[in-house]
Amino acid sequence: MRLLFVCTGNTCRSPMAEAIARSLASARGLTDLQVASAGTSAWDGAPASDGALLVSMEHGLDLGTHRARQLAREAVASADLVLVMGPHHRDRVLALGGEGRTALLTDYAAASTAGRPVQDPFGGDLDLYRATFDELTREITQVLDRIAAEGAEGGTGHRPGGPPPT
């Protein structure tokens, strides 16, 4: 399964989400999960923000080689599931062809349609980055629980079900 995380600049939330998902998937032995990230307004090649780098390092994750990439139709087309940080990110993914496999991260994790975005730590202090990292870890843990359960029910390589991805 190919999972894509999307935020605005691809320097804070989505790279942290990508690293967290890779780490948690590895720890669970989910070897068929491929994870990537992109930003709706990314400056191609920009490094992860200092806050994302530092907080990720506190958790043993290395974003030192991360380089931002602009969200493109090809990335959306190659993803089985696109998880976005806010409603405006979802709108952009849908405009690029993500219908039926795109959801807010928090909605997919909780199998709901509450529409709660993940807070953006950009420009904030390390405590805000830590809170966002913790929030991402909780949400992604639930996402992986759901992916593992759906994989066990329906085999591998399928596109996961709702909450109503749009």
Residue 156 has what pLDDT?
A: 41
Catalytic residue of the set 7, 90, 92, 101: 7
- Whether 10 is covered by a domain: the verdict is yes
Residue 159 has what pLDDT?
A: 46
Residue 151 has what pLDDT?
A: 81
Residue 129 has what pLDDT?
A: 98
- Whether 164 is covered by a domain: the verdict is no
What's the whole-model pTM score? 0.92
12 is catalytic: no
134 is catalytic: no
Catalytic residue of the set 2, 80, 116, 120: 120
For position 13, which CATH number holds?
A: 3.40.50.2300
7 is catalytic: yes
- Whether 124 is covered by a domain: the verdict is yes
pLDDT average per 10 residues of sequence, the chain (166 residues): 98 98 96 97 98 98 98 98 98 98 97 93 97 98 95 54 52
Catalytic residue of the set 12, 13, 22, 107: 13
Q: Which domain holds residue 32?
A: 2-154
- Whether 111 is covered by a domain: the verdict is yes
Q: How many domains does the chain have?
A: 1
- Whether 166 is covered by a domain: the verdict is no
- Whether 47 is covered by a domain: the verdict is yes
Contacts 24+ apart (CB under 8 A), 115-121: 115/87, 117/85, 117/86, 117/87, 118/7, 118/13, 118/85, 118/86, 120/7, 120/8, 120/12, 120/13, 120/85, 120/86, 121/12, 121/13, 121/49, 121/51, 121/52
- Whether 97 is covered by a domain: the verdict is yes
- Whether 160 is covered by a domain: the verdict is no
